[in-house]
Amino acid sequence: MNKPELWRDAGADVAADGAGSVDFASMSEDELMAYEAKYCSWGDTVHYMEVPKIFERCEGSFLFDGEGTPFLDLQMWHSAVNFGYANPRLNEATRRQLDRLPQVSSKFLHREKIELATRLGQRIERTWGMAGRAHFNVGGAQANEDALKLVRNATGGKSRMFAFEGGYHGRTLGTTAITSSYRYRRKFGAFADRAQFVPFPYCFRCPYGKKRDDCDLYCVDQFARLFDSEYHAVWDAKVEECEFAAFFAEPIQGTGGYIIPPQGYFEKLKEVLEARKILLVDDEVQMGFYRAGKFWAMENFNVKPDVIVFGKSLTNGLNPLSGLWAREELISPDVWGAGMTHSTYSSNPMGTAVALENIKMMEEGDYETMTREKGAYFLEGLKELQRRYPGYVGHVDGMGLALRMELCEADGFTPNPKLANELNQGGFRGGIEVGGKRYGLVLDVGGYYKNTVVFAPNLSITTAEIDLGLGLIDRLMAAATRT
Ligand SMILES: Cc1ncc(COP(=O)(O)O)c(C=O)c1O
């Protein structure tokens, strides 16, 4: 039913008189899929899957389908649910807000918004000694849109940006211009100036063919070279001005395949940016909130961003609240005044209340130690898989609980997207037996060559769940590599 070539017939057997007279609550998956095929747009990402999955319930690290099969989720909604499904404390905060002030126009104030902005601001003051303000919106792409407006405004309307090859910042018209994949722009024409894309330090596949041991961060030297002469197209040497307002960067590439840059990279890059008065926009939408072992992933790399963009796990996936924080001189009311951006839901109280509780929870717990220890345990398990499947597991790496496993041909280097896809689809098919029980496994495949399994498990994942996950991957690998 879900195969693209059959989609035109797929909705043929839905009730002629529409949804009003049918009981969706008791429908089988096949019946539901018939309505989905007829009434849901297929333009989102659901139909990336060969067989889309319907889930009914979630708890902790697991999703459950209609038959009650537990699916261990090692991706947690692309890192939007860092604190576990149905987190009792965050759900309770949502209920409390529902009873007190469930809705109020974003034109008016409410105390949760003010406290949330204050806590974020004070945290950044403590971490980096910088003063600034937070500005909210809904969704990571919209927050990046706001960041685009903010840096354009702060630089006198400069519309050109640097961004990374492999970078992802959203799929609105504006953010696809700074997201590297042409695939997301191809059908829609140009809206914003396309970014100048700079190679990311993807050391396993160094774009310059160097080895990290002795490269001396040659990639940053190549970026710095752009400013040597006006003939390199970005710099007016006479007035010492760059055509570009900002560099949009993920501290660790998310969609690009959880690629962790080498230490020293961002420090050296930031020196170039500061010298050329180019702002650093740190997109923490996927890596923020302890995913990579620190509140902000960029803290791992010893540089101070000018703008921070966040979303996803801010609310643990309970509300699409997102936002940005910017240094005071970029966002003070005299430069970023009333109405610079607006969205009806931009600081909705359900979102700010759960985000606030989440930030308090992060302040109370030692997430740094937790993510470091669990991440090290998980990575050790991935290294064991690398030993068990020599060549096929070409590269593993991790920082906190952001981990990667790059699948290759037997030579250990040639990308093997087919194997990655088999693991992904096999996990979703479920029915994988471990310890006499049947499980499904939620994985995500990304990376430049679609051969990288990226892991963003629940930060509270237990070691037993990590073992279960590794066991499930082992079963899938064994089946997929059996000759
Ligand atoms: C780094 C990064 N920025 C921005 C976005 C876009 O966020 P959203 O999907 O909420 O629009 C994503 C989503 O995956 C992301 O990973």
**What digits encode the pLDDT tens for the residues 348-381?**
999 999 999 999 999 999 999 999 999 999 999 9
Q: Ligand 1 centroid to 180 CA: how many Å? A: 13
Specify the pLDDT at position 1.
40
Residue 34 has pLDDT above 90, yes or no: yes
**Residue 2 CB partners (closer than 8 Å, separation 6+):** 10, 33, 37, 47, 49, 50, 51, 52
**Mutation pick for ligand 1 pocket among 180, 250, 285, 454 (CB with most ligand atoms within 8 Å):** 285
Q: How confident is the model at residue 12 (pLDDT cuts 50, 70, 90)?
A: low
For residues 408-426, average pLDDT: 97
- C-alpha 377/C-alpha 359 separation (Å) is 26
Residue 69 has pLDDT above 90, yes or no: yes
Specify the pLDDT at position 9.
55
Report the candidate in 137, 131, 53, 74 with the shortest Cα–Cα distance to residue 315: 137
Q: Ligand 1 centroid to 286 CA: how many Å? A: 6
Specify the pLDDT at position 6.
46
For residues 317-328, average pLDDT: 98
Q: Which residues line ligand 1 (CB under 6 A)?
A: 78, 139-141, 144, 168-170, 250, 254-255, 283, 285-286, 311
Specify the pLDDT at position 482.
87
Cβ–Cβ under 8 Å, residues 81 and 59? no
Specify the pLDDT at position 192.
85
Find the range with the poorest average confidence among 6-10, 234-238, 426-430: 6-10
Specify the pLDDT at position 146.
98
Q: How confident is the model at residue 190 (pLDDT cuts 50, 70, 90)?
A: confident
Give burial (CB, 10 Å; 0-12/13-18/19+) of 17.
exposed
Q: Ligand 1 centroid to 159 CA: how many Å? A: 21
Q: For residue 115, which phi and psi values (nearest 5 degrees)?
A: -70, -40
For residues 122-133, average pLDDT: 98
Average pLDDT, the chain: 95
**Mutation pick for ligand 1 pocket among 44, 144, 284, 312 (CB with most ligand atoms within 8 Å):** 312
Which DSSP category does 325 fall into? Answer: E
Helix, strand or coil, per DSSP, at residue 437: strand
Residue 11 has pLDDT above 80, yes or no: no
Q: Ligand 1 centroid to 76 CA: how many Å? A: 14
Which DSSP category does 340 fall into? Answer: S
**Residue 414 CB partners (closer than 8 Å, separation 6+):** 408
Specify the pLDDT at position 301.
98
Which DSSP category does 129 fall into? Answer: -
**Mutation pick for ligand 1 pocket among 168, 180, 181, 308 (CB with most ligand atoms within 8 Å):** 168
Alpha helices in 365-433 (DSSP H): 367-388, 417-429
- C-alpha 250/C-alpha 297 separation (Å) is 9
Q: Ligand 1 centroid to 168 CA: how many Å? A: 7
CB atoms within 10 A of CB 274: 14
Alpha helices in 390-462 (DSSP H): 417-429
